[in-house]
Amino acid sequence: MTPHRIRTAIAVFAALLVVLTAGLTRHALDDNGRTWLDRGVTDWAIAHRDGVLTPTAVTVSALGGALAMTALATLVCLGLSWRRRWSEAALVAIAGLGAWLLVRGGKSVIGRARPPVEEHLMTVANPSYPSGHSLGSFVVVGIVAVVLIPHLRRMVLRALAATFAAIFVAAVGLSRIYLGVHWITDVLGGWCLGALWLLACLTVYRYLIRRKTRAPATGLVDNAPLT
C-alpha cells in the first residue's frame, strides 16, 4: 500500500471514530442508560455471573485500573529513558497523562449515572461516561505496544504480543459491564475516545520525528523505531 493510501485510510478511520464518539457521547447525554442496548447487555451479563467469572472479572478490572496503568506507563518510561529513548518515553508519558485528563474531563462534563447500585459487584463513586478503565487501558496498553513491539525480532512474537494487548483491552472493558458498574456505551465511548487520542499522539509524534530527521543532525541521536 502506498503512503498516500495509508494516509487516506487513517483519515477515514479517524473520521469514523469522530462520528462514533459523537454519537455515543450524545447518547450518554440524552438518555438514562436504559435503552435496549445498554439495558439488554447489562441484563445478559448479570444473568451469566458465576463463581469463576466474578473473581476473574475483578482481577482483570484491577489490572486495567488507573493504578496498574500508571505503574505500567511509569515503568516503560523509566526503561526507555534508561536506554536514552527520550522521545518514546515522552510519547508514553504524554499519552498516559492525556488519557487521564480525558477521563476526568469527560466524567465531569457528561455526569452520566451508572447502572443501579444494587447491580454493582464493587464500590464506585464517580460518573459513568466514559469508562476510565476502557479508555485508560486502551491508550496505555496501546502506546506501550506500539513502542515496544517493533523491538521484538521474531514476527511470531510480535503477533502474539499484539494479540495479547488487544484481548487484554477488550477483557478490561467487558469486565466493567460484567461487574455492573458501566453500561456498554460507556465502554464503547472509552474505546473510541482512547483510539482517537492514541491516533492523535502517534500522528504528532511521527510528524515531529520526521521533521527532526530532516534537520541537520546535532547532539545525541534519539533512536526512534516508529519512524
Task: Output the tens digit of pLDDT for each of the chain's 227 residues.
Answer: 677 788 888 899 999 999 999 999 988 888 665 678 899 999 999 999 999 999 999 999 999 999 999 999 999 999 999 999 999 999 999 999 999 999 999 999 998 999 999 999 999 989 999 999 999 999 999 999 999 999 998 999 999 999 999 999 999 999 999 999 999 999 999 999 999 999 999 999 998 888 877 765 544 445 555 64
| The pLDDT value given to residue 33 | 55
Residue with cell 484481548: 167
- Alpha-carbon distances, residue 164 vs 30, 159, 160, 168, 170 (angstroms): 35, 9, 6, 6, 10
- pLDDT at position 225: 53
> From the CB of residue 40, how many other CB atoms can be counted at a distance below 10 Å?
12
Nearest to residue 21, comparing CAs of 29, 31, 32, 33?
A: 29
**Grid cell locating 100:** 487521564
Would you state the pLDDT for residue 227? 45
Transcribe 112-127 into DSSP letters: PPPSPGGG-SS---S-
Report the pLDDT value the prediction gives residue 218, as an integer from 0 to 100. Answer: 47
Distance in angstroms between the alpha carbons of the first and the last residue of the chain: 17
For residue 221, what pLDDT is reported?
45
CA nearest neighbour of 19 among 8, 11, 30: 11
159-175 burial, b at 16+ Cβ within 10 Å, e below that, comes to eeeeeebeebbebbbbb
Q: What is the CATH number of domain 3-214?
A: 1.20.144
* Model pLDDT, residue 2: 77
**Residue (of 76, 92, 69, 102) closest to 201 by Cα position:** 92
Q: What pLDDT, on a 0 to 100 scale, did the predictor assign at position 31? A: 61
* pLDDT given for residue 160 in this prediction: 97
Helices (H), the chain: 3-30, 36-47, 53-63, 66-82, 86-110, 132-148, 155-178, 184-214
Q: Would you call 68 exposed, middle or buried from its count of C-beta atoms within 10 A (0-12, 13-18, 19+)?
A: middle
Residue 103, pLDDT score: 97
Contact 227, 213 (CB under 8 A): yes
Question: Would you list the domain boundaries of the chain?
Answer: 3-214
Q: Three-state SS string across 142-180, please? A: HHHHHHHHHHCCCHHHHHHHHHHHHHHHHHHHHHHHHCC
Q: Is the peptide bond before 130 cis (omega within 30 degrees of 0)?
A: yes
Report d(CA 106, CA 188) in Å as an integer.
Answer: 14
Global pTM reads: 0.90
Q: Residue 220: its pLDDT value, please?
A: 45
pLDDT of residue 6: 81
* Distance between CA atoms of residues 72 and 35, nearest Å: 36
